Amino acid sequence: MVIKYENKITNNIFLVEKVVLSDGVEVEKYIERIAVAIKATDAATGYSKIFDGWVMLKNPSEKESSDFTAFEDMKELPQHIKSQCLDWFFDERRRTDIRNIINEEQKKPVAKQGGWTPDSFQNTI
C-alpha cells in the first residue's frame, strides 16, 4: 500500500507565560507545543484520513537565550520549530501506525445504496 502524506503546521499553540532558559535568562511567552496534522491518502483507493497531534517543543532548560525569539517578534514560524514539526511528521513509527490504521479502516463495511428503487410502505393489516 502506497500512502501519500500531506503535512500541516497550524498556528495553534500553547504558551507558557514565563520560563527560565538554560543560561538563567527569564523570558515570557515561551511556545511549549504546536498543533500539527497529517493527511494520509491511500494512492490506490483514494481513501484518506487526517491525524492531528501536538508537537512538544524543546524544553526551556535545553534552550539558550541566544536561540530564543520573542513571541511578539515572530512574523513567521522559526526554523527550529519547523524542524521539530518535520521530525514529528517523518517519524517512521508514526507513519507505520498511520498505514496500519488506514489499512484496517478500509476493511470495515461501508454504508451504500443499491441501484434499485426501494419498495414503498405496504399496508399489511
| C-alpha cell recorded at residue 74 | 515572530
Q: What is the pLDDT of residue 123?
A: 75
Q: Give yes or no for a contact between 38 and 51, defined as CB atoms under 8 angstroms apart.
A: yes
pLDDT of residue 110: 84
pTM of the model as a whole: 0.79
Contact 6/39 with Cβ under 8 angstroms?
Answer: yes
Q: Look up residue 78 and give its amino acid.
A: P
Q: Residue 100: its pLDDT value, please?
A: 94
Burial bucket for residue 37 (CB in 10 Å: 0-12, 13-18, 19+) = middle
The DSSP-derived string for 68-79 is: ---GGG-SS--H
Q: Which of 40, 70, 43 is nearest to 53 (CA)?
A: 40
Q: What is the pLDDT of residue 120?
A: 78
Query: Domain ranges in the chain?
Result: 3-66+76-103
The predicted pLDDT at position 61 comes to 93
Strands (E), 21-120: 26-42, 48-56
Per-residue pLDDT of the chain (125 residues; tens, 9 = 90+): 899 999 999 999 999 999 999 999 999 999 999 999 999 999 999 999 999 999 999 999 999 999 899 899 999 999 999 999 999 999 999 999 999 999 999 999 988 899 888 887 777 76
pLDDT at 118: 86
The predicted pLDDT at position 124 comes to 73
**φ/ψ of residue 57, rounded to 5:** -90, 175
